[in-house]
Structure 1
Amino acid sequence: MQKKLNRPEVLAPAGTLEKLKVAIKYGADAVYIGGQAYGLRSRAGNFSFEEMAEGVAFAKAHHAKVYVAANMVTHEGNEKGAGEWFRTLRDIGISAVIVSDPALISICASEAPGLAIHLSTQASATNYETLQFWQKLGLERVVLAREVSMNELSEIRKHTDIEIEAFVHGAMCISYSGRCVLSNYMSLRDANRGGCSQSCRWKYDLYDLPFGQERKSIHGEIPEAFSMSAVDMSMIDHIPDMIENGVNSLKIEGRMKSIHYVSTVAMVYKKAIDAYLEGADVYEKVKQSLVDELWKVAQRELDTGFYYSTPDENKQLFGARRKIPEYKFVGEVVDYDAEAMVATIRQRNVIQEGDAIEFYGPGFRHVETIVQNLRLAENDEIIDRAPNPMTLLHIDVPFAVVPGDMIRKSGSGLINLYDKSTGVRKTVRAQA
């Protein structure tokens, strides 16, 4: 008898209320957000209680869930007020909190009963005994450490029935999950209390330091400045492994990314899940189009993290980029007049008459056209270039588009082809 496969949820980041709504519209089954306390993204657009309530109402109307990340490591006194805070989240209707610190877990469990607790990846859960430990304490889900291999994930699933959440796309930490203090040393900002300055992504130089002499940079003897940062993760090629091994939630990183990123990545992973559950052959037919779609958004180079091997130096970011997106996000549809065949769009980046653009929307809808009859929406004044973000514009569109559809400009990027062994770089313009 064929094994029945469970449908994993697509869990998308939502740094703002706008991103929350976009993520859900574009296929996310759940989103995770930050509140104004106890989180690890102090620079993200963290939610007030009022915004949380609006987000929860929107999510429920679309049969989705909202989780709140409260995954900081508490120092003495940081936990004060946590009980009331968790109770407020519960009463607002938050589906679960994502926590790593045992003190916050204990406070939430005792003072906000009924609010589900998920173990954060910051707690570094890497084996099934650890998952069993947290399950006995009443947690409903564990977010695996990003260092877990696919073989280990398979073994973990065989020995526990607790829900498993695993990262499938986004930034990787160069340090062990939840154990980095580089930012603390380099910028006096506590990475584990929401202040990470991402020191691993800075550019560093190498110096010769002869005793008693001035230091001398050896920059120039290496092709590019060095960074300790890992390339981003992408598991779009390996969705079958995630589903077959019983992962309950596929997590996308990026609460500080744009609505272009959130909409595209959520839509792609939703499409991948739907395709594989329809049939392995269906998934194989669409897989390359999904990969191509992901490369239309701004991101670093991509790899599979620790799932299939230990990353080597080729999975770190240094030297010239080998590939960059070929599209630029330029706007979103606000309205469409079917009779006049005119779209009202809210501009996000420079757009001009004659640009080749692509509209895309939920359900993996894509249509292309050329910008024609560009004009200001307020007075229909014809213009040849719109440089100011958030301006409302009119353009002629010979097919129906839907409010909320996004617009990209194609052929707007450069592809860098870089050979690290020779240090030779060739730059070519992307084709429109």
Structure 2
Amino acid sequence: MTNERTLKRPEVLAPAGTLEKLKTAIHYGADAVYIGGNAYGLRSRAGNFTKEDMIEGVAFANEHGAKVYVAANMVTHEGNQEGAGDFFREIRDVGISAVIVSDPALIEICATEAPGLPIHLSTQASATNYETLEFWKNEGLERVVLAREVSMDEVAEIRKNTDVEIEAFIHGAMCISYSGRCTLSNHMSMRDANRGGCSQSCRWKYELYDMPFGAERTSLTDKGEVEEEFSMSAVDMAMIQHIPELIQNGVDSFKIEGRMKSIHYVSTVANVYKKAVDTYMEDPENYECKQEWIDELWKVAQRELSTGFYYHVPTDEEQLFGERRKIPQYKFIGEVMAYDAETKVATIRQRNHFSVGDEIEFYGPGFNHFHQTVEVMYNEEDESIDRAPNPMMILTMPVVEPVAVGDMIRKKK
């Protein structure tokens, strides 16, 4: 492994379920985003992009030196591939940087009918060794998203034996099934997880019952204070404390999960990993993970956090059941629409209820943060109000430090 490879700056790749999230992710430091088109993806409930959305998103990304990838990673059944050639040509022609695919049929269609559109192998294809990466390289693919079951030692071995670009998940939800190939949703809710309809049945709460014929069912467990005794739900991944190992082992793209997450989540996580990567690249020898970065990620954490399969096979400690650890939770309450430097007044679009007297936190790109108490605020008629209860309402308030358009506001629940 050469020093050049060791010191190559990785791409921070963020999820973008909507055009708003795409712009937010790039504004907060993402080098690239991945989106879903209106077909062939695995997130049918995400705000998938129309052709017009893609054109606008690609233009915005180009202005900021970023890339846009499209996930087309569904498993096709007979007939599902119809129209795929037209789809791939369309996204190629609007300037998409690459398409992420798992199904060999779609890969073949893309390669033959949309030449010039780079293809990345999806994590759903379960690439876990360098021979597999070399196979896909020979098929014309330039990047492989590793299976989430790959260990850090295996990442190092893969890098030593292939020059294919490596993309790896470093933050977000973990699927309980191998590489996301699940049929539980099909059985529980008649929704095909491998064709974009996952109902996240693994996240449901389960119980064990006695169900005698013709009688009421009764629980066979005494739950007491325990929230869950049976679980298929995995904790989330966070590799913020292991940035050096990921870079030194040649990971080219740091992938953040969450196309259905909020702009609060996307902005926070992209901001943190951008800061961590930049800090390491500036001075690798003296790099240290800062506690404030870890604390920041916990502000948007929905579940406990772990390192997935990177350092050991997950145990019951990486499952969600029993008594939960308490997680500090914040809610996203607004975003800055304008700022008057002379009056030190910010114009804010409300996203969640907050009131005079609340302590709130402003944050922006580059890890700029400050706290203040809401002393006074005004509605669009310039009337003093004591609370902001209406979603998306516009209000103004004085701020104690300068802010910028696109800065976010949150408060602790």
TM-score between the two structures when normalised by the length of structure 1: 0.92
What SS does the corresponding residue of 1:98 show, helix, strand or coil?
strand
Counting only pairs closer than 5 Å after superposition, residues 137-286 of structure 1 correspond to structure 2 as: 137-208=139-210, 215-221=217-223, 223-225=226-228, 226-280=230-284, 282-284=286-288, 286=289
Partner residue in 2 for 1:312: 315
Q: CA RMSD in A?
A: 1.7
Residue 272 of structure 1 contacts residue 283 of structure 1 at CA under 8 Å; is this kept in 2?
no
How far apart are the structure 2 equivalents of 1:396 and 1:190?
50
Partner residue in 1 for 2:337: 334
Residue 35 of structure 1 contacts residue 48 of structure 1 at CA under 8 Å; is this kept in 2?
yes
* CA drift at 1:227: 2.4
Partner residue in 1 for 2:411: 409
How far apart are the structure 1 equivalents of 2:218 and 2:371?
53
How far apart are the structure 2 equivalents of 1:281 and 1:261?
30
Amino acid at match of 1:83: G
* CA drift at 1:32: 0.2
1:92 and 2:105 are equivalent in the alignment: no
Counting only pairs closer than 5 Å after superposition, residues 354-393 of structure 1 correspond to structure 2 as: 354-376=357-379, 378-393=380-395
Aligned pair count reads: 409
What SS does the corresponding residue of 2:272 show, helix, strand or coil?
helix
1:297 and 2:315 are equivalent in the alignment: no
Amino acid at match of 1:306: F
What SS does the corresponding residue of 1:369 show, helix, strand or coil?
strand
1:350 and 2:353 are equivalent in the alignment: yes
* CA drift at 1:220: 2.1
1:354-394 deviations in Å (ceiling 9; x for gaps): 11111111111112211121111x11111111111101111
Amino acid at match of 2:287: Y
Amino acid at match of 2:227: E
How far apart are the structure 2 equivalents of 1:210 and 1:150?
49
1:53-103 deviations in Å (ceiling 9; x for gaps): 000000000000000000000000000000011000000000000000000
How far apart are the structure 2 equivalents of 1:12 and 1:51?
17
Residue 275 of structure 1 contacts residue 282 of structure 1 at CA under 8 Å; is this kept in 2?
no
How far apart are the structure 2 equivalents of 1:328 and 1:305?
26
How far apart are the structure 2 equivalents of 1:323 and 1:237?
20
* CA drift at 1:218: 2.1
Partner residue in 2 for 1:133: 135
Amino acid at match of 2:167: E
* CA drift at 1:239: 0.7
Instruction: State the identity %.
Output: 73
Amino acid at match of 1:216: T
What SS does the corresponding residue of 1:289 show, helix, strand or coil?
helix
Specify every segment of 5 or more residues in structure 2 that has no aligned partner in the other structure, as ranges: none
Partner residue in 2 for 1:321: 324
What SS does the corresponding residue of 2:30 show, helix, strand or coil?
coil
1:118-170 deviations in Å (ceiling 9; x for gaps): 00000010111111100000001000000001111111111100000000000
Residue 347 of structure 1 contacts residue 388 of structure 1 at CA under 8 Å; is this kept in 2?
yes
Amino acid at match of 2:275: K
